[in-house]
Structure 1
Amino acid sequence: MESLFDPSYPKAFAAFSTEHWIAIVILIALAALLYLFRSVIVSTTALQKTVKWSLLAALSLPEASLHLWYVLTGIWDPATSLPLELCSLTLFLSIAILLTDERRLYPLVYFAGIGGALQAILTPNLDYPFPHFRFFHFFTVHTAIILTALYMTWVRGYRPTWKSIGWTMVFLNVSAVLVGLVNWAVGSNYMFLMRKPETASLLDLLGPHPLYIMVEEFIALVLFILMYVVFFVIPDHIKRSRRHGREEIPGSSAGS
């Protein structure tokens, strides 16, 4: 029987296999539950703390276990094992915002966290299938990144702004420059700045290197704008229109 911690596990991950679909469905179900019970969580301090610490555990424990696994199996390599992927950066930002409630971190967690982790879940750059340890690590931390952003939005009441979209784009570009320097120094490919991943991904549709990086910039900006308009601007407009309509009704009746 193959070890579920074996770095030379003989089987390979298959995108949109049964196990992959189950992971996607679990994400959707957890997000739906968080939304449906958001008011209950907000009004119950003990429940809010339970959700918060559950998210912290789902983010930190698998990630710590991953780096311990790298060391114990002798496969730690600065070219592949440093936490310099975008989702690794947003994972640490997610932990930080849960611990500190720092509002300046929220746009990064909301825009970059959801955008990057959702793409990762839909098109995983993953070599190991279920039930390998890396399978559970991958889907647990990426799901927790998304749920943390939703928790801060629906439960803690944080909101992005137009200005925070620009702040997130600055963060992404500064991170890319710094990670690019590491790539150049150690021969790595963090954030896929040097070449596309070997597994199928959305980058395959965006042209050759380095064109796809510039296209990614444009797509990220458009995605962030849509995430703000669809989930904040439009709902706010609808709420204002309904309030205005209710306020108009008494006056209209009185004047008729």
Structure 2
Amino acid sequence: MESYFDPQYPEAFAAFSVEHWIAIGICITLGLLLYLFRTAIASKLSLQKTVKWSLLAALALPEASLHVWYVSTGIWDPATSLPLELCSLTLFLSIAILLTDERRLYPLVYFAGIGGALQAVLTPNLGYPFPHFRFFHFFVVHIAIIMTALYMTWVRGYRPTWKSIAWTMAFLNVSALLVGLVNLAVGSNYMFLMRKPDTASLLDLLGPHPVYIVVEELIALSLFILMHLAFFVIPDRIRRSRRRKHEPASLSLTGD
């Protein structure tokens, strides 16, 4: 009987298989539930602690298990096993913000976390199918990164600013520079800075190396601006506009 922890698992992951769609559906469902119950969770400290520690468990336990798996199966390799992918970095930032409530980490978790993890959920760079251990690790941690950003936004009330987009872009570029140096030192391809992934991804549409890295930067900046406009700037303007419309009526009633 084949082991679901076997690094030489005979089957490969298939994008948009039934299991992949279920994982996407779980991500959407959890996001909707968090949004619908955001006020109830925010109003009770016990519920906040439950969500917080559930997210911490979903982030930390699978990631720790992954590195135990690497070592126990003898496949740990500095060229492939270091936590230097973008989603690995935002995973640790997600853990840090849940533990510390540090507001300076929030833009990185919101913009880079959602942007990177959502792309990963939709177009996984994954070699193992359901029900292999790596399948569960991959989707649990990426969905948890997204849910952490949404939790800090909808429940804890954190908000990005225009300046925080620049802060996030600076973080991404400094991270890419440092990770690029590691890539040169150990012959790795973290953050796909040296070449495109072997599996199909959105990078296939962005041109050859290194053009796709520049295009990625422009797409990331555009995505962050869109995320800020769609979920913060425009809704705030709509709310202010509605309040102004109701102000004259309320004032006249007070005057009477």
TM-score surpassing 0.5? Answer: yes
For structure 2, the 5+ residue unaligned runs are none
**1:119 CA displacement:** 0.3
Distance 1:46 1:222 in 2: 38
Instruction: State the Cα RMSD in Å.
Output: 1.2
Measure the CA separation in 1 of the matches of 2:11 and 2:204: 24
1:44 pairs with 2:44: yes
Please name the residue that 2:194 is paired with. Answer: 194
What's the TM-score once normalised by structure 2's chain length? 0.98
Residue 210, structure 1, aligned to residue 216, structure 2? no
Q: Distance in 2 between matches of 1:251 and 1:86?
A: 52
Does 2:125 match 1:125? yes
Per-residue CA deviations over 1:102-143 (Å, capped at 9, x if unaligned) read 000000000000000000000000000000000000000000
**Over residues 154-212 of structure 1, what are the superposed CA-to-partner deviations in whole Å (9 max), with x where a residue is unaligned?**
00000000000000000000000000000000000000000000100000000000000
- Could you say what secondary structure the match of 1:69 adopts? helix
1:103 matched to 2:103? The reply is: yes
Q: How far 1:251 sits from its partner (Å)?
A: 5.6
Which amino acid in 2 is paired with 1:157?
G
User: 3-state SS of the aligned residue for 1:8?
Assistant: coil
Shift of 1:49: 0.2
3-state secondary structure, aligned to 2:77: coil
Q: Percent identity?
A: 82
State the shift of 1:249 in Å: 2.6
- In the alignment, the residues of structure 2 paired with residue 182 and residue 233 of structure 1 have an alpha-carbon distance, to the nearest angstrom, of 38
Tell me the equivalent position of 1:181: 181
The answer to whether structure 1 residue 75 and structure 2 residue 75 are counterparts is yes
Q: Give me the whole-angstrom Cα distance separating, in 2, the residues matched to 1:250 and 1:229.
A: 30
Give the Cα–Cα distance (whole angstroms) in 1 for the partners of residues 22 and 54 of structure 2.
20
Segments ≥4 residues shifted beyond 3 Å: 250-255
Secondary structure of the 2:7 match is: coil
Q: Which amino acid aligns with 2:23?
A: A
Structure 1 gaps of 5+ residues are none
Report how many residues are paired: 255
**TM-score, normalization: structure 1?**
0.98
Q: SS of the counterpart of 2:29?
A: helix
